[in-house]
Amino acid sequence: MITFAKSSPLMFIGGVIVTCVTLLALLAPWIAPFDPSEINVKVILLPPSWEHWCGTDTLGRDVFSRMLYGARVSLAVGFVAVGISLLIGLVLGAVAGYSGGRVDAMMMRLTDMVLCFPTFFLILAVIAFLEPSIWNIMIVIGLTSWMGVTRLVRAEFLSLRNREFVMAAQGLGVSSIRMMWRYLLPNAMGPVLVSAVLGIAGAVLVESGLSFLGLGVQPPDASWGNILTEGKDNIQIAWWLSMFPGLAILITVLGYNLLGEGLRDYFDPKLKQ
């Protein structure tokens, strides 16, 4: 453990943060001192104290408990959105890289096209038109963030395609699908994993941005973003409403970024120098 922490401190710190946040989210119902949606008019907008660690909000709800439940929402959005973008990116990238030629050129044009869009505009428009439920948010973030994975997988497949072991497998009559799945994909997995971990961080940030604009997860469900929105409206009188959820987002995103960077060094020691 100690040698691991010394040999790759980034991955270690990132891993610890990610594990802690995930545990807190999973164990929310047992850790949370209060019911996150319990309204109590006697304790409106109290500053942090021993009883309410992160203070209370405008409806007297305990901010710490809400943040624990909000962690579930933020992480779920991150995981599912990245899952969707991985699925699309893997399939498109694999097909483009493996077939090459015209198919590849066309798919890469498509990717370039979507990359030109300010994706936040796309996300905002679609969410506003569909209605901002948690599922829509996951799907839309996933649908607008597959381009990086596609390019990565394609590049890996292109370079793997002409290697000897692939030719050998082809000579033995392995089908295309089995070839991609069984022989090429495992070899491309490192960079994909890195971009997935970084993608989770990105999705958490996008969700919080959407919530901030009032288009994220809707109240009464808690999310870090929508606690922050309430914080913005009361910024003159209740600093804790904007301070703690912001810190939570910062630390979580930081954790995933560190883990991603650590994994990158691990898969590609050349970069570390």
Partner 1 sequence: MIPLLFGITIISFGMMHLAPGEPVVVGQEFNPKVSAQDIERLRAYYGLDKPLHEQYLNWLNRLVVLDFGKSFSADGRDVIDKISERIPVTLWINILAMLLIIVIAIPIGIISAVKRDSWLDKCMTIFVFIGFAIPSFWLGLLMMISLGVNMNLLPISGLHDYNWQQMGFWEQQADLMSHLLLPIFVSAIGGLAGMSRFMRSGMLEVISSDYITTARAMGVPEKSIRYRLALKNALLPIITLLGLSIPGLIGGSVIVEQLFSLPGMGLLFFEAVMSRDYPLVMGITVIGAVLTLLGNLIADISYAWADPRIRHGRNG
The residues binding partner 1 (CB under 8 A) are 109-110, 112-122, 124-126, 128-130, 201, 205, 208-209, 212-213, 228, 231-232, 235-236, 239, 242, 246, 249-251, 253-254, 257-258, 271, 273
**Least spacing, CB of residue 123 vs partner 1, in Å:** 8
Nearer to partner 1, 180 or 248 (CB): 248
Distance of alpha carbon 123 from alpha carbon 181, whole angstroms: 31
**Least spacing, CB of residue 252 vs partner 1, in Å:** 8
**Least spacing, CB of residue 239 vs partner 1, in Å:** 7
Nearer to partner 1, 122 or 189 (CB): 122
**Least spacing, CB of residue 41 vs partner 1, in Å:** 27
Nearer to partner 1, 25 or 205 (CB): 205
Distance of CA 146 to the CA centre of its chain: 12
Of 144, 148, 149, 141, residue with least CA distance to 77: 141
Q: How far from 181 is each of 2, 158, 178, 231, CA to CA, in Å?
A: 36, 15, 5, 48
Nearer to partner 1, 5 or 251 (CB): 251
Distance of alpha carbon 152 from alpha carbon 187, whole angstroms: 12
Residue in the structure block whose two tokens are 């829509």: 136
Contact 198, 78 (CB under 8 A): no
Nearer to partner 1, 54 or 166 (CB): 54
**Least spacing, CB of residue 65 vs partner 1, in Å:** 21
Distance of alpha carbon 258 from alpha carbon 160, whole angstroms: 28
